[in-house]
């Protein structure tokens, strides 16, 4: 499990999700200076729910290493969800006036890249398994 490259990519993706959970999305002017708003408080509970779904998909993909196709599909779906989160953050960045966004708004893009790299690694492993199976079947027939 830990020797595969997609496991490393999924671990990096999970690390970025954890970092995203504990970081500040943006700061708004308040009575005592700038007040930080975390990602869990962003857009009421919706962004937090989406972040939880993404974390669940990445963790499930991390521990379904015996089923490469399921792992590949979960990683791909997680990448698509992360791109959706990045689009939502980009929309907020370009339409809102006043808040000062943190540099952590690019984390969903990194999560998406790592998930797509993990899906590609799963695909390559699946191709290798299928080619080895073909070779075994050819030997049995001879």
In contact, 24 and 37? CB cutoff 8 Å: yes
* H helical segments located in 1-142: 5-21, 46-63, 68-95, 107-141
- Looking at residue 1, its pLDDT comes to 54
CATH topology for the 5-141 domain: Butyryl-CoA Dehydrogenase, subunit A; domain 3 (1.20.140)
Kindly list the domain boundaries of the chain, sorted by start residue. 5-141
* Prediction pTM value: 0.85
- Looking at residue 2, its pLDDT comes to 59
Residue 55: strand, helix, or coil: helix
Q: For the chain, which residues score pLDDT lower than 50?
A: none
């Amino acid at each position: 499990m830990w020797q595969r490259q997609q496991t490393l990519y999924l671990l990096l993706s999970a690390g970025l999700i954890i970092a995203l959970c504990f970081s500040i999305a943006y700061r708004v002017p308040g009575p005592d200076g700038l007040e930080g708003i975390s990602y869990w408080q962003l857009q009421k509970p919706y962004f937090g729910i989406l972040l939880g779904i993404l974390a669940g998909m990445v963790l499930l993909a991390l521990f379904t290493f015996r089923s490469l196709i399921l792992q590949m599909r979960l990683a791909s779906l997680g990448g698509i969800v992360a791109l959706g989160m990045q689009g939502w953050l980009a929309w907020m960045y370009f339409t809102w006036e006043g808040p000062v966004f943190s540099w952590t708004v690019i984390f969903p893009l990194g999560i998406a890249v790592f998930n797509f790299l993990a899906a590609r690694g799963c695909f390559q492993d699946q191709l290798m398994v299928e080619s080895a199976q073909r070779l075994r079947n050819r030997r049995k027939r001879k």
